[in-house]
Amino acid sequence: MKEPSQLTFETHDKLGLKPFGQKLEQFLMVEHDFVEGSLVVSLNAPFGADKTTFLTMWKSDLDKRREADNSTPQVVIINAWESDYCGDPLLSIVNALIKAANGDSPEKNTEAADKLREAAKDMGWFVVGLANNMASQWSGVDPASAGEFAEAKKQGRQPKIPDFVTLYEERTKALGKLKETLRQVLGGEQPKAFVFVDELDRCRPDYAINYLETIKHVFDIHGLVFVLAVDYGQLECSAKALFGVDLRFPDYFRKFVQRSVTLPEPDESSLHKLAHHFVTHYMEKEGKRTSLMHFDEYRIKNIVELIDALKMPPRQIQETFRIIGHVVAGDSTRGRLLWCIGVGVILMSALKVAEADIYRRIGKGDATHNEVGKFLIKLLGKEKSHWWFCLYLTGSGKHEGDDAASRAANLEKLFRDLEYVKKDEKFDAANALHGNGGGWGHNYSDRWKEIYQKIESATSF
């Protein structure tokens, strides 16, 4: 696995996201002029859509261009979830901006970074010291402080009551100093720093909202650009968990974010490229694993058709290939898998990841032919699903009817119920299943149950 710093568009962009990154960069550089403070943009994509990989590749691209042109904004990536336990996002963001201020000299502290660090020290005392010491002491929550207070009373000494008005004024003064330093170091007519905030939707609801509030109220500096990589739906759940289900989240979110963009979904060409990459990585790695399945263009087409229909994000696609790799692994002395079994493994592996309920029902023999047919039609459409449904039927081992005539009649009824055969169209029972039966071998047992058991065995320890 590559280190994050090694991920570049040239080496790792399997989904063709570089043009999107270039357009987004141009958008940020222009849009920055139309806001008064910092520009905050949300980059929306569901969980597993490779937002982190995209941000890392984009940062690598910007860093490389900055080596030739120092007017290119400095970039830092913050994993918000990693600082969740700290309880306050302020120092997390300031620490990242100190790195940005160091710019191209990370091994030494620049004057700009020193200014930020000094300004942050005053602010940090209030964030950490006040919250952890003063607040706990006077709320009575901290046992040690409570004990000291009791001992002081016992000895007839009155504890010094802090002047909270003064504390507030000092905190406001420290915050003003920090913001002024931020303007001096990172402010300007052109963006000086891009701050990519990742994993915000994984944080505790209160911390995620606090992060948004902090960016809005503390870091509203013209010259700063924030890109928040989020799963919009998950962030909405976090906000509603905090403020109630009646919260109008789109309106609430617009308080913090000026613009929202969506990471493009991969097209068929990108999926094809990604499938080839994972075949090489999980199936055909020389010296590591021998695959019993031959992955020609037909098998790649089968995989792409499924992952496209299932709308699988990259992380789910990767997991599907991991499963396939485990199931079809073997030694070089064994022959290749029968092609129907190979495609069956592909189908069931994809369903295990993306549609677990129908996967279990097919694997345990609980699903009816009609149920599976309707599922495939909804997933793939009438035309594409016909081939997959015939594959399913020939491997099911379920022969409904006592003799050939009754089985043909039941098959015709099934095909007409699913509208694979029109009312006025003659049904050809002999060719209805595309001759797939031989692709399963001469064993007429339920092949789907066998595949299910192999997958469960390969993925359970």
CB 197 within 8 A of CB 227: yes
**Domain end call among 227, 262, 297:** 262
Tokens found for residue 269: 């060409």
pTM: 0.76
Q: Is 134 part of a structural domain of the chain?
A: no
Cβ neighbour number for residue 136 with a 10 Å cutoff: 16
Ramachandran region, residue 140 (left: φ > 0; alpha: ψ -120 to 50; beta: rest) = left
Are residue 343 and residue 443 in the same domain, yes or no? yes
The distance from CA 106 to its chain's CA centroid, rounded to whole angstroms, is 29
Centre a 10 Å sphere on the Cβ of residue 368 and count the other Cβ atoms it contains.
12
> Partners of 74 in the beta sheet?
193
Q: What gap in Å lies between CA 370 and CA 156, rounded to an integer?
A: 85
Tokens describing residue 418: 């699913």
Residues 6+ apart with CB under 8 A from 342: 293, 294, 299, 328
Q: Which of 230, 262, 294 is where one domain is finished?
A: 262
Are 20 and 101 found together in one domain? yes
> What does each C-alpha distance from 388 to 140, 377, 437, 440, 449 come to in angstroms?
67, 10, 13, 14, 17
Domain-located, residue 165: no
In a domain, 155, yes or no: no
What pLDDT, on the 0 to 100 scale, is given for residue 401? Answer: 63
| 41 three-state secondary structure | strand
Number of domains in the chain: 2
pLDDT at site 441: 75
β-bridge pairing 224-230 and 193-198: parallel
Asked if residue 105 and residue 46 are part of one domain, the reply reads: yes
Same-domain pairing of 237 and 332: no
Is the distance from CB of 170 to CB of 164 less than 8 angstroms?
no
pLDDT of res. 113:
83
Same domain for 322 and 280: yes
Q: What is the DSSP letter of 427?
A: P
Q: Is residue 164 a part of any domain in this protein?
A: no
Residue-range definition of the domain harbouring residue 433 = 268-458
User: To 5 degrees, how large is the angle CA 89–CA 90–CA 91?
Assistant: 95
In the predicted model, residues of the chain with pLDDT beneath 70 are 1-5, 103-109, 123-163, 283-295, 330-336, 398-402, 434-438, 443-444, 461
CA gap 315, 354 in Å, rounded: 11
DSSP three-state, residue 78: strand
- Residues 274 and 234 both lie in one domain: no
CA 336 – CA 63 distance, rounded (Å): 47
Task: State the distance between the two ends of the chain, measured CA to CA, in whole angstroms.
Answer: 23
Specify whether the CB–CB gap between 14 and 274 falls below 8 A: yes
Structure tokens at 412: 């015709």
403 found inside a domain: yes
Same domain, 272 and 258: no
Residue-wise pLDDT tens digits, 80-93:
998 887 777 888 89
Q: Are 218 and 304 members of one domain?
A: no
* The pLDDT of residue 414: 92
Q: How far apart are CA 303 and CA 289, in angstroms?
A: 20
Helices (H), 310-355: 314-328, 339-354
Collapsed DSSP state (helix, strand, coil) of residue 316: helix
**232 located within any domain:** yes
Q: What pLDDT score was predicted for residue 435?
A: 60
Alpha helices in 187-296 (DSSP H): 205-218, 232-243, 249-253, 268-278
> Are both 226 and 291 inside the same structural domain?
no
CA angle 246, 206, 263 (to 5 degrees): 80
Domain final residue pick, 262, 282, 303: 262
- Residue 151 within a domain: no
Same-domain check for residues 422 and 376:
yes
CATH of the domain at 16: 3.40.50.300
Q: Do 44 and 118 belong to one domain?
A: yes
Same domain, 302 and 257: no
Task: Give me the pLDDT at residue 138, please.
Answer: 30
340 inside domain: yes
User: CA 458, 46, 97: angle at the middle one, nearest 5?
Assistant: 115
Q: CA-CA distance, 341 to 159, in Å (whole number)?
A: 79
Q: Which amino acid is at 44?
A: N
* Per-residue pLDDT reduced to its tens digit, 275-301: 888 877 776 654 455 556 666 778 888
Distances (CA, A) of 30 to 25, 26, 318: 9, 6, 36
DSSP state of 84: G
d(CA 261, CA 197): 15
d(CA 210, CA 239): 11
